[in-house]
Structure 1
Amino acid sequence: MSYSLERARQEIGRHLRELRTGSGLTGSQLAALLGWSQPKVSRLETGRQSPSSADIRAWAKACGEEETAEEIVGRLGILESMYVEWRVQERSGMQGPQAEAHTRDTATRSRRVYECTVVPGLLQTEHYIRSVITKYAHFRGVSTGTEEAVTKRLQRQEILYDRRKKFRFLILESVLRTRYTDQESMVEQLDRIAMVSTLANVSLGIIPFDQCVVFEPGHGFCVHDDRLVTVETLSAELRLTHPTEVAQYARAFDLCSRATRFGRQARALLLRAIDSLPPD
Structure 2
Amino acid sequence: MPRPSPPSSVQQAREALGKRLREIRQDSGLTARALAAAAGWHESKSSRLENGKTPPSDEDIRIWTRICHSEDKAADLIATARGINGMYVEWRRMESAGLARVQESVLPLFQHTHWFRFYQSQVIPGLLQTQDYTEAILNTVVALRDAPDDIEEAVAARMSRQRVLHAGGRRFAFLIEEWVLRSVIGSPSTMVNQLGHLIGMTAAPCLSLGVIPMGVVRGNAWPCESFSVYDEKQAACELVSASLTVTQPSEIAEYAKTFTELASIAAYGAGARKLITSAIDSLG
The TM-score with structure 2 as length reference comes to: 0.90
| SS of the residue 1:25 aligns to | coil
- Contact conserved, 1:172 with 1:208, CA < 8 A, in 2? yes
1:205 aligns to 2:205 (yes or no):
no
- Contact conserved, 1:92 with 1:145, CA < 8 A, in 2? no
Partner of 1:161: 166
1:31 aligns to 2:36 (yes or no):
yes
Distance 1:54 1:189 in 2: 50
- Contact conserved, 1:223 with 1:230, CA < 8 A, in 2? yes
User: Percent identity at matched positions?
Assistant: 37
- Contact conserved, 2:119 with 2:175, CA < 8 A, in 1? yes
In the TM superposition, residue 85 of structure 1 has moved relative to its aligned partner by: 3.1
Which range moved further: 30-39 or 268-277?
A: 30-39
Distance 1:92 1:220 in 2: 24
In the TM superposition, residue 146 of structure 1 has moved relative to its aligned partner by: 2.1
In the TM superposition, residue 64 of structure 1 has moved relative to its aligned partner by: 4.3
- Contact conserved, 2:96 with 2:148, CA < 8 A, in 1? no
- Contact conserved, 1:176 with 1:273, CA < 8 A, in 2? yes
Distance 1:34 1:71 in 2: 20
Partner of 1:132: 137
Which range moved further: 55-64 or 263-272?
A: 55-64
In the TM superposition, residue 7 of structure 1 has moved relative to its aligned partner by: 4.1
Distance 1:41 1:277 in 2: 59
Distance 2:114 2:33 in 1: 52
- Contact conserved, 1:113 with 1:223, CA < 8 A, in 2? yes
Number of aligned residue pairs: 278
Which range moved further: 121-130 or 230-239?
A: 230-239
Q: Which of the numbers 28, 34, 47 marks the counterpart of 1:42?
A: 47
Distance 1:277 1:44 in 2: 55
Q: Which of the numbers 55, 60, 81 marks the counterpart of 2:60?
A: 55
- Root-mean-square deviation (CA, aligned residues, Å) is 2.0
The TM-score with structure 1 as length reference comes to: 0.91
Distance 1:21 1:72 in 2: 16
| SS of the residue 1:259 aligns to | coil
Q: In structure 2, give the amino acid aligned to 1:42.
A: S
- Contact conserved, 2:95 with 2:148, CA < 8 A, in 1? no
Q: Can you give the 5+ residue segments of structure 2 that lack an aligned partner in the other structure? A: 1-5
Distance 2:189 2:223 in 1: 31
1:247 aligns to 2:247 (yes or no):
no
1:236 aligns to 2:242 (yes or no):
yes
Q: Can you give the 5+ residue segments of structure 1 that lack an aligned partner in the other structure? A: none
Distance 1:86 1:62 in 2: 37
